[in-house]
Amino acid sequence: MQVKSPDLIGLLKVFQDSNVDFILIGGIAATVHGSSRVTQDVDVVYKRSDENYKKIVYAVGPLNPYLRGAPKGLPFLLDERTLRSGLQFTLDSDLGPIDLLGEVAGGGNYENLINHVDEITLNSKRLLVVNLPKLIELKVAAGRPKDLEAIAELELIRNKLSER
């Protein structure tokens, strides 16, 4: 499944409307902090709890989630058991790609990251976004070429903010 024009804000709204406990990381978090880079997916670290698994299934289930890059026809069901059994899920959906991350290099899990967030309002609701210093740490820990390229811009943004 490939969405031609992902609705990333729509994906976040679905999570917000279902009261999923998550922290926004990745490219959209960088954009929130002032990055000019474009991203094509939503990256979230989700709280690993039975209650939150139910919320995630309720939110994402109707969007026909499927494992990104998996062969067509491979059986996949995003349900509470699947979430409990796995940790990281890179999915395509009717609204676009989403990475559901139980933990992330350089930041750990939801509980580890919760003290490193900024709260913003999106769709008239609260949205937790990893703060800029921690986002830079996550990018360094990931070490992928695209993350390393983004670090310089994020550090410039951090330096400009500290000059104020």
Range of the domain at 35: 8-163
- Digit-coded pLDDT (tens) for 102-129: 999 999 999 999 999 999 999 899 999 9
| Ramachandran bin of 94, using left for φ above 0, alpha for ψ from -120 to 50, beta for the remaining angles | alpha
Establish if 143 belongs to a structural domain.
yes
Work out the pLDDT band at 161, boundaries 50, 70, 90: confident
Establish if 3 belongs to a structural domain.
no
For residues 39 and 31, is the Cβ–Cβ distance under 8 A? yes
Q: What angle do CA 127, 115, 105 make, to 5 degrees?
A: 90
Establish if 37 belongs to a structural domain.
yes
Establish if 2 belongs to a structural domain.
no
3-state DSSP call for residue 23? Answer: strand
* Number of domains the chain is built from: 1
Question: For residue 97, which phi and psi values (nearest 5 degrees)?
Answer: -75, 140
**In terms of DSSP H, where are the helices of 114-144?**
132-142
What are the strands of the beta sheet with 88-92, ordered from one edge?
Answer: 66-67, 88-92, 98-101, 42-46, 22-25, 125-130, 117-122
**Considering the entire predicted model, what is its pTM?**
0.93
Establish if 29 belongs to a structural domain.
yes
- Digit-coded pLDDT (tens) for 9-33: 999 999 999 999 999 999 999 999 9
Q: Is the pLDDT of residue 1 over 80?
A: no
Of 8, 53, 22, nearest in space to 126 by CA? 22
Q: Which helix (H) or strand (E) holds 148?
A: helix 145-163
> What CATH number should be reported for the domain holding residue 141?
3.30.460.40
Establish if 79 belongs to a structural domain.
yes
Establish if 1 belongs to a structural domain.
no
Q: What's the average model confidence in pLDDT over 59-82?
A: 95
Q: In terms of C-beta density within 10 A (0-12 exposed, 13-18 middle, 19 or more buried), how is residue 137 classed? A: middle
